[in-house]
Amino acid sequence: MIENSHVGEVSCSPLRARIILESSFMAAFGTIALLIAFALAAYNLLAGILALRWIATGQPAPISPERLADTARRAGIAGFLAVTAAAFALVWSVFTNDFSITYIMEHSNRALPGAYKFSALWSGQEGSLLLWAWLLAVYGFVLRLTHKTDVKLYAYAGTILAGVQVFFLAVLCFAAPPFALYQGVTPDDGNGLNPLLQYPEMVIHPPMLYLGYVGFCIPFCFALGALMMRYPGEKWIKVTRVWTMVTWLFLTAGIFLGMHWAYAVLGWGGYWGWDPVENASFMPWLTGTAFLHSVMMQEKRGMMKSWNVWLIFSTFLLTLLGTLLTRAGLVSSVHAFAQSSIGTWFVVFMAIVLAVCIFTYVLNRSHLKTEHHLESLVSRESSFLFNNLVLLVACFVILWGTLFPVISEYVVGNKVTVGAPFYNRVAVPIGIFLLLLTGVGPLLPWRAASFKSIRRNFVLPVIAFWVTVIVVLAVGDRPWKDGSLDQGNFYALVAFAVSAAVMTAILSEFLRGAQVISRQTGRNLFAGLWLLTRRNTRRYGGYIIHIGVVIVVIGLAGSAFNRNIESELALHDKMNIGPYTLECVGFSQDSNLNYNSEFALLDVYSGGKKAFQMTPEKRVYLITGQPQTMVAIHSVPSWDLYVVYEGTNPDSGQPIIKAYLNPLVGWIWAGLVVLVFGTLLALVPSLSPATASLRVPVRTGPSEPAPKGGHL
């Protein structure tokens, strides 16, 4: 097959011949590396199962089960090296333009810039599955190296992880091989990368998302392993806490980077279209977020053990479902760049995973009995419970909306569209309710709250809520206009008011704690705030994450006030939008090896003075002939001026410019930064009581203030 693929290149130079030989070698090398990785993962799985079975039952074994388990672990480590070798082979092939490999031919070309050659690796089915397998191997490598933390639990988790690896490597070896050779004469150049993916964020967005998707496999393996071995205590949750938070952080960052990519590249002025593939990434985020909250109940009160196990099982299954939706073409999506028939593989694997989870749960559910029950409807525990409820209902709504077209077609033979209007009506109110719980939860003490304490804690947030309502109505956001209700404006008003209340609640928590510390230590308020945060990074890091969420919601609510204008602009023509006047001062064209481009030069005036210049661009990629907009964005805290060069009117020959004024969009990205900071802070270990006492001369009182007004 290798010879056949190069029949058209008999007269090539010795250098060319060497390159072809190397290229073919890399394809073979990559394929063999994948087969070795598959064999190693299979050995890890089988040897791990045997060893753990012998250890659990105490049966006489022909070899030491501990030694067998260790060989399984080492096979997992070696598997990482093998998958890394395969990934290296694909990277090498794309950078050396080895178009004898079908995948490289279909997703790259010679003129493609280096950074985008990397992104070619996940622009298609086989490459993205290889990326998935490699990330899984990386996580597995770390897990197996750190096994001394708890040898038995890690052995269980490592063996389950090997099972997942076997599946992905089997798909790569037998269903979607990335090193398949091109049938026929090797072309001189490839088909190139999808223009939509030729954007800087596309180099980091998919790996981030995949790190999140793949990462949830680790807490899943620990949860299932702990249940299989009837692991005593909550240690597995403590072990997986860092894994889960890091994974959640990657998934969050991946989702936001995807939103920013959609905003900057697709040129429709929005960032979230409720596309099935977007939804697929959002669903595990919701269940993962629910898990991060509910594990606190298990750690603090020994409650919700079954719930937590099923939350993490569901999260992992949803990551697989997301991949199924992306790959199998089950639902219509604008992310249709990677569809194939491997959906069946995923359906079978999901069924196996679900069966194993149910079987293990039924067998060992007595181990998950709760140690305490809720004592009051108004308590921190209840707020966590309701928070979980709302997150799961939101997940159900999105899953329902995503699958309803398929269900409708199956039941009544009529395919329907479930787009943004459905989600805006159903998911937005749920989101606002969730935001409300974000503020209410931290104000409630554990176990039970008295009416007096509730009244005291909620006065300021309620005042903030109503002040915001009045201010927003006063500055001109009137949900009721001309006798009709503007749904978007109404939701924006509620979102602003709830955000203000939640922000007040969180900040008052910080302030109250800092004041206590300040009084105890005699230091100023900022020092008190710093020490307060260091003493319980998890709690206050969590509050900062909530602040980030509030900032994001404010940014999202701004979309209710978006406006736009479209116009043909001849030289020195002007268009007005909001406080800006855009004057066309020139048009130009440019070209390079990758694309031809047309762009407009627009002087932007504000208050009668020239403020800045914008250059919206339209590219046409040479290899594919596909057009692509490059949006010009001028961002300030109050809004984004977002300008799209839409092309030229075929009748008049005049360029068409579309300008949007999108309020508060910058807040979304700023919220992400706060959210990332909060998560990183929550990952930092808190000061131990001993360390804290060395650093701070505590005068009197407890080391940390209890929630105000709680009866505890």
Could you tell me which stretch among 31-39, 231-239, 553-561, 642-650 binds another protein (CB under 8 A)?
A: 642-650
Q: Taking contact as CB under 8 A, which single stretch among the options 18-26, 382-390, 450-458, 666-674 is the one that binds another protein?
A: 382-390
632-636: strand order across its sheet = 563-568, 655-663, 639-648, 632-636
Shortest distance, CB of residue 649 to another protein, whole angstroms?
A: 9
Note the residue count of the chain.
712
Return the axis-axis angle of helices 487-521 and 537-557, rounded to nearest 10°: 150
Q: Which is nearer to another protein, 3 or 651 (by Cβ)?
A: 651
CA count, 13 A, side-chain hemisphere, 37? 33
**Distance of alpha carbon 366 from alpha carbon 347, whole angstroms:** 30
Query: Does position 414 bind another protein by CB under 8 A?
Result: yes
Binding residue (CB under 8 A) for another protein from 58, 114, 625, 650: 650
Closest distance to another protein from the beta carbon of 31 (Å): 36
Considering the rule CB under 8 A, would residue 707 count as an interface residue with another protein? yes
382 near another protein (CB under 8 A): yes
If the CB atoms of residues 85 and 698 are measured against another protein, the closer one turns out to be: 698
Shortest distance in whole angstroms from residue 370 CB to another protein: 9
Q: Least CB distance from residue 261 to another protein, whole Å?
A: 16
Closer to another protein at the Cβ: 267 or 555?
A: 267
DSSP string, 589-642: EEE-SSEEEEEEEEEEEETTEEEEEE--EEEEETTT--EEEE-EEEEETTEEEE
Pick out residues in 383-412 that bind another protein (CB under 8 A).
Answer: 385-386, 389, 392-393, 396-397, 400-401, 404, 408, 411-412
Q: Does 268 bind another protein (CB under 8 A)?
A: yes
Query: What tokens does 603 get?
Result: 């002087």
Residue 484: what are its φ and ψ, rounded to 5°? -125, 155
Contacts of 12 (CB under 8 A, 6+ apart): 20
Indicate the pairing of strand 617-621 with strand 609-614.
unpaired
**Interatomic CA distance for residues 243 and 53, integer angstroms:** 27
Question: Could you tell me how many residues of this chain bind another protein (CB under 8 A)?
Answer: 73
Measured from the CB atom, the residue of 325 and 374 that comes closer to another protein is 374
Q: Which is nearer to another protein, 83 or 544 (CB)?
A: 544
Which residues, numbered 484-523, are part of the site for another protein (CB under 8 A)?
A: 484-485, 487
Which CB, 352 or 420, lies closer to another protein?
A: 420
Cβ 32 to another protein shortest distance, Å: 41
Q: Which is nearer to another protein, 367 or 447 (CB)?
A: 447
Packing angle, helices 201-215 and 235-265, rounded to 10: 150
Residues 527-586 that bind another protein (CB under 8 A): 536, 538-539, 542
Give the orientation angle of helix 217-228 with respect to helix 343-364, to 10 degrees.
40
- Judged by CB under 8 A, the stretch of 22-30, 224-232, 476-484, 515-523 that binds another protein is 476-484
Nearest to 545 by CA among 515, 513, 506, 495: 506
Site residues (CB under 8 A) for another protein, limited to 205-224: none
The helix (H) or strand (E) run that includes residue 644 is strand 639-648
Q: Does 420 bind another protein (CB under 8 A)?
A: yes
480 binds another protein (CB under 8 A): yes
How near is the Cβ of 347 to another protein at its closest, in Å? Answer: 23
Residue 658 contacts another protein per CB under 8 A: yes
Q: Which is nearer to another protein, 536 or 624 (CB)?
A: 536
Interface of this chain with another protein, residues 269 to 308, rule: CB under 8 A: 269-270, 273, 275, 296, 300-301
Cβ distance to another protein smaller for residue 20 or 296: 296
Tell me the Cα Rg of the chain.
Answer: 28
Closest separation between CB of residue 490 and another protein, Å?
Answer: 8
Smaller CB distance to another protein: residue 70 or 646?
646
Is 309 in contact with 302 (CB distance < 8 Å)? no
Could you tell me the smallest distance in angstroms from the CB atom of residue 298 to another protein?
Answer: 13
Give 578 or 647: the residue with its C-beta nearer to another protein: 647
Report if residue 445 touches another protein, rule: CB under 8 A. Answer: yes
Footprint of another protein on 329-358 (CB under 8 A): 332-334
Distance of alpha carbon 702 from alpha carbon 712, whole angstroms: 13
Scan residues 421-440 and list those touching another protein (CB under 8 A).
421-422, 425-426, 430
Binding segment for another protein among 208-216, 230-238, 243-251, 262-270 (CB under 8 A)? 262-270
Given the complex with another protein, which of 480 and 612 has the nearer CB atom? Answer: 480
d(CA 67, CA 675): 44
Residue 468 near residue 497 (C-beta atoms within 8 A): yes
> How far is 131 from 512, CA to CA, in rounded Å?
47
Where in 480-614 does DSSP place strands (E)? 480-481, 484-485, 563-568, 574-577, 580-591, 595-606, 609-614
Give me the helices (H) in 266-342, please: 276-301, 305-328
State the first-to-last Cα distance of the chain, in angstroms, to the nearest integer.
Answer: 75
| DSSP state at residue 368 | G
Computed from CA positions of residues 210, 212, 216, 219, in that sequence, does the dihedral angle turn out positive or negative?
A: positive
Tokens 């070896």 correspond to what residue?
Answer: 173
Q: For another protein, give the closer residue by CB, 175 or 426.
A: 426
709 makes contact with another protein (CB under 8 A): no
Instruction: Give the shortest CB-147-to-another protein separation in angstroms.
Output: 30
Smallest separation (angstroms) from another protein to the CB of 678: 13
Q: Which of residues 168-197 bind another protein (CB under 8 A)?
A: none
> In the bound complex, what is the minimum distance in angstroms from residue 423's beta carbon to another protein?
9
Span 611-640, contacts to another protein by CB under 8 A = 627, 629
Q: Which of 167-175, 525-533, 568-576, 702-710 is the region at the interface with another protein (rule: CB under 8 A)? A: 702-710
The Cβ of residue 712 has, within 10 Å, a number of other Cβ atoms equal to: 9
Cβ closest to another protein, residue 240 vs residue 629:
629
373: contact with another protein by CB under 8 A: yes
CB 98 within 8 A of CB 23: yes
**Can residue 690 be called a binding residue for another protein (CB under 8 A)?**
no
Instruction: Measure the CA dihedral 601/607/609/615, to 10°.
Output: -10
277: amino acid identity, one letter: V
Residues 597, 591 contacting (CB under 8 angstroms) = yes
In the set 42, 304, 309, 374, which binds another protein (CB under 8 A)?
Answer: 374
Site for another protein in 85-124 (CB under 8 A): none
**Which residue in 446, 491, 580, 642 binds another protein (CB under 8 A)?**
446
